[in-house]
Structure 1
Amino acid sequence: MLIKTLTIPSFRLILIALLCFSLPCLTVFGNKAPEKERSISAAKPNIVFLISEDNSKHFMELFDPNGVSTPAIEEMASNGLTYGHAFSNSPVCSVARSTLITGTLATRTGIHLHRKIKSAPMPDGLEMFPAYLRKAGYYTTNNAKKDYNAQEGEGVWDESSYQASWHNNPQSEKPFFHQETFTESHESRLHFDKERMNSYHPTDDPAQVKLFPQFPETPLFRYTTAYHRDKIREIDDWVAQKIKELEEAMVLEDTFIFYFGDHGGVLPGSKGYLYETGINVPLVVRIPENWKHLVPYQKGDSPEAFVSFIDFAPTVLRLADLEIPEPMDGQPFLGKGLEREALESRDEAYGHADRFDEKYEMVRSFRKGKWKYIRSYQPWYPDGLQNNYRYKMLAFAEWRSLYDQGKLDTIEAAFFEAKPVEMLYDLEEDPFETKNLADDPARTSVLNGMREGLNQWLAANNDLGFLPENLLVNEALDNPVAYGKAFHPELVKLIHISNWATQPWREVRANIFSTLQSGSYLERYWAYMAAASFGKSIASEYGEFPDWREEKQPMVQLRAIELMGILEIDNPFPALFSWIQGTRDPVAALIGLNTLVYFLDHSRFEPQTDPGDLVVRVSNPEVERRLAYLKGTW
């Protein structure tokens, strides 16, 4: 027989050749087989986050007919899923990114203030989610933004730098998680000057772009809008390049790609605010062919399911077939075993906004289906309250100037005036939230239901926003979650007190006066806040309030002084100057300076001495921002 005449080496060569024809995916003579073939047997999918800074869904044609075409992202959508109801929970980067990386609700875990004055520890028993992937064999990389308000700890990233990439994976068989941020759409890119306006000509004719209804009709607003639309096109070009890199490496069909914005957009009134333009982000997930069995949808679908940033970490872990840690707050929306019907029933999202740099305000939102409820806990502060970084944008500054000149209509001017305590919007009829239905008798049941839904959420998640930040920093941030649990019984009382602002004064006045006489420190603090929400309508009853000079707790005294000024009983500046100069706590000083700037810019009172001469004995970077504004050097 022929086989008997072959030498052993010859036999081996023939055997290898036969195997190569029948099993083309094998490696032969040390050369790697095509990655596309080898990757079919990958043990776990790769996962990539492509994150663009500062853009809501309202600028992409994929989500809004007035948006620009984004062919690469649209191609992603045809091979994946388009989420029209994706929310960042918070409308500002450090808080939103902290939520993403921890999978926790920032107001529960003490990471809800931008920028952090003190980092919060991770909750007991929880690590940032890439650490779990890394332990399970993933190569984890971040290029390169973090901006976390929580303490990162060890073992989260194999590499985090501007050179970090899944390309650097030392073991090609290891799955990878890669996160990358596109920074050219950041708010700072709209801090251009008039020279830039003369030299740069946007793709779209500014005269033809559609403005948001709250914006004044000016050439500057039109130019700024057109300019930002070009940034959306740049995002799309970047996404196209990243997808091409994965395709050329033949790992595309083993890789889930999440494209999304890190929160809402940068045009005035978006970033930093709980309107849809501030928190409704674009989200497209490309589904790899080899892992489509993990998704209960068809490619090209547009799920109606609501998803929030608290859900992203659990989703990634579910896709990687890993256990979801109990301290995470979100729910996975992709992964093995999930059913489409259950996912599509999710129709709620919660939002929170607190300090943004040096500007304080506490706002919460609740979205259920088409209804949007916004609760302002300090409604006397206008949205347009001075924030130095905001007003570096020419359009922002022009908007305020036009208001000061009385040249804005009611919708345009609302940004610079006191807000309602409660706002209710039908987003199907009013997508830009300009028609408040909270006082509509026909919507009373909806309003009550939304209010109660928010209140239950706040209590269930031990919202630490009910603490003045100086108290949070000094007492709670060593272990925010444990503090919140102990704080829960009092929080329930504070939520109840804060809701007195939603009721007629005649029904709550006795409760407010009683609480101011005998309540705890925080109960008195919130009773003053509730009273201030009624504004000048209760000025005639000011004599019933305790004398602010007799209040011994400094933060309660600050709110008492603020009430006196809001009711226009007396000039608040002498008391404020004295209070700010007397504090030894830099965070308390920052809170007091917020009140000072509010009265300086939004009241009829004039300070008796130059605010620029104010001497503050304690400081931090945010205090310095306020002092720069008072001195006119910002």
Structure 2
Amino acid sequence: MKLIKILHLALILLPFTAISQSDSSERPNIVWIMLEDWSPDLSCYGTKGIETPVTDKLASEGVRYTNAFCTSPVCSTSRSAMLTGYHQNYIGAEQHRTAKEEKKPLPFDIKPMPLLLKEAGYFTSLSIYNKTDANFSGDLGFMGKDWKERKKGQPFFAQITLGGTHRAWNRDPKNPIDPSKIELPPYYVDTPFARRDWANGLEQMQVCDREIGDILHRLDKEGLTDNTLIFLIGDNGRCHFRGKQFLYDPGLQVPLIIKWPGHVAPNQVNKDMVQTIDITATILDVAGAKPEHPLQGKNLFKEESKNRKYIFAARGRMGGTHDAMRAIRSNKYKLIHNLMPERAYLQYSGYKEDMYPMLAEMNVMNLEGKLNEDQAKFFAPTKPEFELYDIVADPYELNNLASAPDYGDLKDEMLEELYVWRRSINDKGVSQEFRKGGLSSKYPTRTLEEWKERYEAWKPWVFRKPKEKVKHPFVKKNY
């Protein structure tokens, strides 16, 4: 029996061969391609209506993860965690858009990943869309904007962010998407307006797919592909309400594809529950960079990252919108603890109201009593303190089991594990000052007539043609 277990473990680890600075004279280059605000809405993940041939090919050449999650559902907090390998609360970076004057140095003598790579001899670059969004002060360690600036023979780390998938989105003139071909989650209304908005986002990803192709082509042209470890990920979940900024799977789940010729076998699909801070740990291990403070992420190429029982996530302030949520998720269940249940999910957020067309349409329909029960849940004036979902039976997270007697023991067990995790990351919870602060929590945020006016203002933008220049109704820029 013991021999069988050993053989099974060998088969699990066979696709990966990690190297370290000590056993290789030629460490790999590392290219980290980051999509803004993007869930696994790609054709290789089964999303309907979209065509992403470059990404699909990349996935076929390596491993595609189907259960990868960020630690926080918005860019600055999620990226702060990824830049360091620690949960954002642990390093004091949990509040989105921390003002420059409020940012503090990292605690515990923690150094950002690019700085550790620089100290380990790598050339580090921040390319194309120079966004770091770190909620802390100090040197991040980036040395330039392009790997061509490195010394001859020097390995490089390139963080490349593709910003197109962040709202507002461009139409795809080469391959417009027929809205009848897409599939909307049931918590959205199924209208021509909603379908076109969803399809517009998928079209933008098609544009980004070709940009990914340009990056990969350059690596090939420069003869770098064979010794380059490539990660393709999203920084947080999709840019729709009930996605980004919230702890449901569409806000936390991201694509994760890894290619490393000669080290990662092709055509793999990995179902392990992993988190984006694991990428940080993997990169530092592969590069032979040694953090002084133990990382909270785990190397994806080692057994330590496999067979997790739970992943964890947290949400704090979103700009001036105060709220706080924590989540624990297993392969089958998720428990969300809303620390400020007195506030509406959709309390005022200028970002959401100025960037999410469907929010206007559904606010109109909600105030007119035209939403069904599942659609109306997110427009409630308050939240339940706890939400418990059977992810397998209820993948859209609509049937809250937190008060169901048969699930009481499960809820208690997961809540205790969540408390243990919160203590481990120094989670300070919610102060009375925070609870009372921020923008107005009055709900609904606008009258029916005001929402109707915004809905009409959105229509020319949402229904614009692929090459048509239309002024965004709430952003001072033509697209």
TM range (shorter): 0.7 to 0.9
Gap change, CA 1:326 and 1:391, over 3 Å in 2: same
Offset, 1:343? 3.6
The 2-side partners of 1:599 and 1:258 are apart by 41
The 2-side partners of 1:280 and 1:332 are apart by 19
Structure 2's unaligned 5+ residue stretches are 1-23, 448-479
Residue 355 of structure 1: aligned partner: 317
Deviations 1:366-386 (A, max 9, x none): 111121111111112121111
Instruction: Please say which structure displays the higher CA radius of gyration.
Output: 1
Q: Does 1:454 align with 2:418?
A: yes
Offset, 1:76? 1.4
Query: Do the aligned partners of 2:116 and 2:291 also contact (CA within 8 Å) in 1?
Result: no
Residue 630 of structure 1: aligned partner: none
Identity of aligned residues (%): 29
Query: Do the aligned partners of 1:360 and 1:594 also contact (CA within 8 Å) in 2?
Result: no
The 2-side partners of 1:400 and 1:600 are apart by 10
Q: Does 1:439 align with 2:403?
A: yes
Residue 32 of structure 2: aligned partner: 49
Q: Does 1:122 align with 2:106?
A: yes
Residue 430 of structure 2: aligned partner: 466
Query: Do the aligned partners of 1:202 and 1:227 also contact (CA within 8 Å) in 2?
Result: no
Query: Do the aligned partners of 1:263 and 1:280 also contact (CA within 8 Å) in 2?
Result: yes
Q: Does 1:69 align with 2:51?
A: yes
Gap change, CA 1:354 and 1:52, over 3 Å in 2: same
Among 62, 70, 74, which residue is 1:80 paired with?
62
Among 319, 329, 334, which residue is 1:372 paired with?
334
Residue 138 of structure 1: aligned partner: 122
Offset, 1:266? 0.7
Secondary structure (helix, strand or coil) at the match of 1:106 reads coil
Residue 93 of structure 1: aligned partner: 75
The 1-side partners of 2:430 and 2:108 are apart by 22
Secondary structure (helix, strand or coil) at the match of 1:302 reads strand
Structure 1 range deviating more: 303-312 or 428-437: 303-312
Q: Does 1:260 align with 2:236?
A: no
Q: How does 1:599-610 map to 2 (within 5 A)?
A: none
Structure 1's unaligned 5+ residue stretches are 1-40, 191-195, 471-554, 559-589, 603-634
Gap change, CA 1:78 and 1:433, over 3 Å in 2: same
Q: Does 1:166 align with 2:147?
A: yes
Offset, 1:152? 2.9
Offset, 1:108? 1.8
The 1-side partners of 2:188 and 2:250 are apart by 13
Q: CA RMSD in A?
A: 2.4
Residue 276 of structure 1: aligned partner: 249
Residue 180 of structure 1: aligned partner: 160
Residue 519 of structure 1: aligned partner: none
Secondary structure (helix, strand or coil) at the match of 2:55 reads helix
Query: Do the aligned partners of 1:270 and 1:278 also contact (CA within 8 Å) in 2?
Result: yes
AA matched with 1:55? W
The 2-side partners of 1:73 and 1:217 are apart by 28
AA matched with 2:169? R
Residue 15 of structure 2: aligned partner: none
Runs of 4+ in 1 over 4 A off after TM superposition: 199-202, 598-602
Deviations 1:411-433 (A, max 9, x none): 11111112221111111222111
Gap change, CA 1:101 and 1:52, over 3 Å in 2: same
Q: How does 1:228-377 map to 2 (within 5 A)?
A: 228-289=201-262, 292=263, 298-334=265-301, 338-339=302-303, 342-377=304-339
AA matched with 1:103? G
Offset, 1:600? 6.7
AA matched with 1:451? L
Secondary structure (helix, strand or coil) at the match of 1:54 reads coil
Offset, 1:125? 1.7
| Structure with a larger share of its residues in helix | 1
Offset, 1:120? 2.2
Secondary structure (helix, strand or coil) at the match of 1:62 reads helix
Gap change, CA 1:174 and 1:600, over 3 Å in 2: closer
The 2-side partners of 1:315 and 1:467 are apart by 36
Query: Do the aligned partners of 1:314 and 1:324 also contact (CA within 8 Å) in 2?
Result: no
Q: How does 1:411-450 map to 2 (within 5 A)?
A: 411-417=374-380, 418-450=382-414
Secondary structure (helix, strand or coil) at the match of 1:234 reads helix
The 2-side partners of 1:64 and 1:426 are apart by 21
Query: Do the aligned partners of 1:104 and 1:327 also contact (CA within 8 Å) in 2?
Result: no
Gap change, CA 1:254 and 1:365, over 3 Å in 2: same
Residue 396 of structure 1: aligned partner: 359
Deviations 1:577-631 (A, max 9, x none): xxxxxxxxxxxxx43x434x348769xxxxxxxxxxxxxxxxxxxxxxxxxxxxx
Secondary structure (helix, strand or coil) at the match of 2:34 reads strand
Gap change, CA 1:184 and 1:469, over 3 Å in 2: farther
The 2-side partners of 1:439 and 1:458 are apart by 23
Paired positions, count: 420
Gap change, CA 1:468 and 1:49, over 3 Å in 2: farther
Query: Do the aligned partners of 2:164 and 2:205 also contact (CA within 8 Å) in 1?
Result: no
Query: Do the aligned partners of 1:182 and 1:235 also contact (CA within 8 Å) in 2?
Result: yes
The 2-side partners of 1:323 and 1:149 are apart by 23
Deviations 1:419-466 (A, max 9, x none): 221111111222111111222222222222111111111122210333
AA matched with 1:364? R
Among 208, 218, 226, which residue is 2:199 paired with?
226
The 1-side partners of 2:79 and 2:227 are apart by 26
Task: Pick 1 or 2: higher relative contact order, CA cutoff 8 A, min separation 6.
Answer: 2
The 2-side partners of 1:64 and 1:207 are apart by 16
Q: Does 1:151 align with 2:141?
A: no
AA matched with 2:255? P
AA matched with 1:312? I
Query: Do the aligned partners of 1:81 and 1:287 also contact (CA within 8 Å) in 2?
Result: no
Q: TM-score, normalised by structure 2?
A: 0.82
AA matched with 2:36? E
AA matched with 1:132? L
Offset, 1:347? 3.8
Residue 567 of structure 1: aligned partner: none
Gap change, CA 1:153 and 1:468, over 3 Å in 2: farther
